Amino acid sequence: MSEIAQPQPVTPELRQWIIEQAKAGVQPESVLQSMVASGWREDVAIAALEDTLRGFLDERAKVAQLPAAVRVPDPLPAVAGIPTTLQAGDREVRVVLAMRDPRVIVFGGLLSHEECDELMAVAGKRLARSETVQTDTGASEVNDARTSQGMFFDRGENELCRRIEARIAALLKWPVENGEGLQVLHYRPGAEYKPHYDYFDPAQSGTPTILKRGGQRVATVVMYLNDPVIGGGTTFPDVQLEVAPVKGNAVFFSYERAHPVSRTLHGGAPVVEGEKWVATKWLREGVFR
């Protein structure tokens, strides 16, 4: 007869110890390893870590008067090991890189080369100078920081869009309805998108109007549709990271607070040689209409 596992109570002393480790800069993975080595069951240790650190970070955010944190998509376990592949509905994708703070994941093979070529062909007929959202009014405008050409598909506009949207939803465990339509951008040599944030600035007067369509943006997926010869990477200046634009691959990043503390400042580096095509998917808190 198998033994019944005895409960392991999470005491105030344990929570205080976890907080002290966080203040000292110890990574959650190391804290988890120490707890397991000391006799804690892994499931209990993970739950204690997640709950304690969430409360600790929320309290610090209140003191700093930061925007409230919202739920964001995340296909990877909170503190357990990183899988090498993930199932994305009709396709298996590789996990090429994973960063926790900020949450950045590079997926290998999210799109097939045939899907990339088809997206470029269909979108190429509808390109125009790219615009950005004017957050003080909610309207769109041409911005010198963005020197690409682009277009938007409506969500579910065609079979290809529906297939890609369903794949992203399955991979990230986030409803299809909470996503904006795909945007395709084309960068020629010298074109770039200077570093910026994808969330809508709560301090801008036009943001409440924008948020009526589905709430705040919470995550971004940038899919690379071709291989530029030189340049065109996706940069994250706050963490000194640059993701190479490899055809079929994608970079995902999330931002639970609409604030620079998210460290999701990012940009499209100038294309030095060749050209760059990308498809971007923005995810919202709620149903996007």
Instruction: Provide mean pLDDT across the span 185-207.
Output: 95
Q: What is the pLDDT of residues 32-59, one digit of tens each?
A: 889 999 999 988 888 888 888 877 767 7
User: How do the domains of the chain map onto residue ranges?
Assistant: 12-63, 85-284
Instruction: Provide mean pLDDT across the span 274-288.
Output: 98
Contact indicator for 151, 130 with CB cutoff of 8 Å: no
Nearest to 277 by CA among 241, 239, 247, 256: 247
Indicate if the pLDDT at residue 185 is higher than 70: yes
Classify domain 85-284 by CATH number.
2.60.120.620
What is the pTM (predicted TM-score) of this model? Answer: 0.79
Q: Cis peptide before 102, with omega less than 30 degrees from 0?
A: yes
Average pLDDT over all residues of the chain: 90
Q: What is the pLDDT of residues 209-244, one digit of tens each?
A: 999 999 999 999 999 999 999 999 999 999 999 999
Sorting pLDDT into bands at 50, 70 and 90, what band is 3?
A: very low
The confidence score (pLDDT) of residue 123 equals 97
Indicate if the pLDDT at residue 137 is higher than 80: no
- Residue 196's contacts (CB-CB under 8 Å, 6 or more residues apart) are 132, 145, 265, 266, 267
Decide which of 70 and 66 is more confident: 70
